[in-house]
Structure 1
């Protein structure tokens, strides 16, 4: 029986440091047949040279469009029955594509299969990256199963599903995955699974991570305001409450000047924030010990405050800007063509 062609699309912008690991991992997949392309989104480093040295076909966006636009162009320039999107800072395990294709074949209602990254980063650069790898792993692994929140760093779907759901929203630079997951799960199921494994080169600088999380928190507000519920998996109401509690601990901290009674509010808010993710802290303690847990807890508190601050900023912008409220309007999507903005 002829196996379906799998088209692997690797969007890339200045990730030469991890790109070779990503492309080599896709070249070493146990599944065949595969076509592999790297869509370069205006990189200024030697990413293109890395891909060409490995014999990987390169497609250029012509201008920096963001990862959503790069994925759309890649999908339009390939011909496989199955699409696999893998970010250029992710290295898939050799059987990742094989597993995903098998799961899609077994269940016609399954629209997409998303990978769970290992708790160890692809490239060990800093303690911040160690934190992020553990935090991201726990939040995803504890959400394993049916989800409505797309994880596009490594995801497989039928081309027919992609064509039906439509392209990624190129107006969204930070939250295209939440929007796409919402649209896809209106018609199909979607799962997150540890059977499809990978490693991720997470952000290794705290400011970079915090800036990204703030922007994502802000940009999610219009979609969640419209849906009136959180996505299924990962961003749970419990974790949202933990982030808001962390921000409340900071906001009420001046009350400590009033004496012991005033200290109750920030201490209580901090306790609520910790309890919201107690299982995660236990996981980190077992894996890395108490000293690292102290560092981890401090960074995670800052992360929680940043996420909540982003949401507060998003709520304020939602009330003030009609354009912001329309950020996720589907009628504004533009469908790419194989001869559109891309050049080779």
Structure 2
């Protein structure tokens, strides 16, 4: 018999997308046994929209982040498989059935997660197109056995949480990377291109860069805590290094115009750092959009590098910043 599935949806100010998300969940070819919406102190109509569907709604008076919201959903759920869906995602109709099939076919795999389609949930322009093309490509090129799970669209056997504990609520970003690091020590993780969803991604440049800067501050603390080889990475190391080289050499141009060649060389290095991604974007949207894509991609990398530098400094100065220092089997409970 197929295991029962509990769908857990963490939500914060998700009124724009929650109805589409829940409609897609209730249209699954394999219906879930229960659907739990863990509202994280929303100030919009999220709870009212959830109330229009036969969900179990969990509320809290204080916003505590996605890790805490997912943990509340896990504790309240009863299914043998917990299927996580972010509130801004609309899973394809066979998503649950696909995850269950992969879990059944590969008994040593305890976690299956999927990829974003290039078609958005709502089309909000070129910045969102950039985000989805990049997100789709880096996931698609890493399908198979991986060391990291992304919980936007993800099925996990309940026994995993009984064994390793829940999400680290000290983290408001990279919480899935930290949990994956504990999980992969004992269980297989699978990234599948068959498990898909449409996603409503960032569509405004400055808020997107600001959010990327904030999230990147946790890259160093989480990487320091990682055991074994690094897990999934969204960006090529060459692009990150080229961006760092640009920042390091740009001030030299103030000393002599000749030295401007150094940051220009770094930009050329950046543009060539991920040729398969560039080729994918050109095939999807053409050469003109590729130029826009690379410009935005470079700004994102600037946010990543500067955010990581700030986060590394905070990690050195503040013992409460980053993953819980006493992390173990009971972490996150």
Q: Taking structure 1 as the reference length, what is the TM-score of the superposition?
A: 0.90
For 2:185 and 2:153, the matched residues in 1 are separated by 21
User: Equivalent residue for 1:25?
Assistant: 24
Is the partner of 1:9 in helix, strand or coil? strand
Correspondence for 1:16: 15
Q: Secondary structure at the match of 1:252?
A: helix
Alignment counterpart, residue 298 of structure 2, candidates 296, 301, 309? 301
Q: How does 1:181-200 map to 2 (within 5 A)?
A: 181-200=180-199
Counterpart of 2:262?
265
Judge conservation of contact 2:66–2:172 (CA < 8 Å) in 1: yes
Look up the match of 2:112: 113
Q: CA RMSD of the aligned region, Å?
A: 2.0
The 10-residue stretch of structure 1 (71-80 or 220-229) with the greater mean CA deviation from structure 2: 220-229
Where structure 2 has 5 or more consecutive residues not aligned to the other structure, the ranges are none
Aligned-pair distance for 1:71?
0.8
2: CA distance, partners of 1:73 / 1:51: 16
CA distance in 2 between partners of 1:30 and 1:96 (Å): 8
Structure 1 unaligned regions, length at least 5: 336-344
Q: 1:252·1:266 contact (CA, 8 Å) conserved in 2? A: yes
Separation of aligned partners in 2, 1:97 and 1:228: 30
| Distance in 1 separating the partners of 2:79 and 2:193 | 24
CA distance in 2, matches of 1:142, 1:87: 22
Instruction: After superposition, give the CA deviation of every residue in 1:172-207 in whole Å (9 maximum; x if it has no partner).
Output: 001101101111101111011111011111111222
Q: Pick one of 287, 292, 297 that aligns with 2:284.
A: 287
SS in 1 for 2:17: helix
Corresponding residue number in structure 2 for 1:133: 132
Shift of 1:95: 0.3
Aligned to 2:159, the other structure's residue is in SS state helix
**Cα gap change, 1:41/1:321 in structure 2, threshold over 3 Å: closer, same or farther?**
closer
Deviations 1:305-341 (A, max 9, x none): 1101111112222333333366454158342xxxxxx
Q: Corresponding residue for 2:51?
A: 52
Change (3 A) 1:220 1:308: same
Contact 2:238–2:273 (8 Å) recurs in 1: yes
Q: Matches of residues 119-158 of structure 1 in structure 2 within 5 Å?
A: 119-158=118-157
Aligned to 2:93: 94
From 240, 243, 247, the counterpart of 2:244: 247
Residues 129-181 of structure 1, C-alpha deviation per residue, up to 9 Å, x if partnerless?
11111111111111111222221001001111122121111110011011011
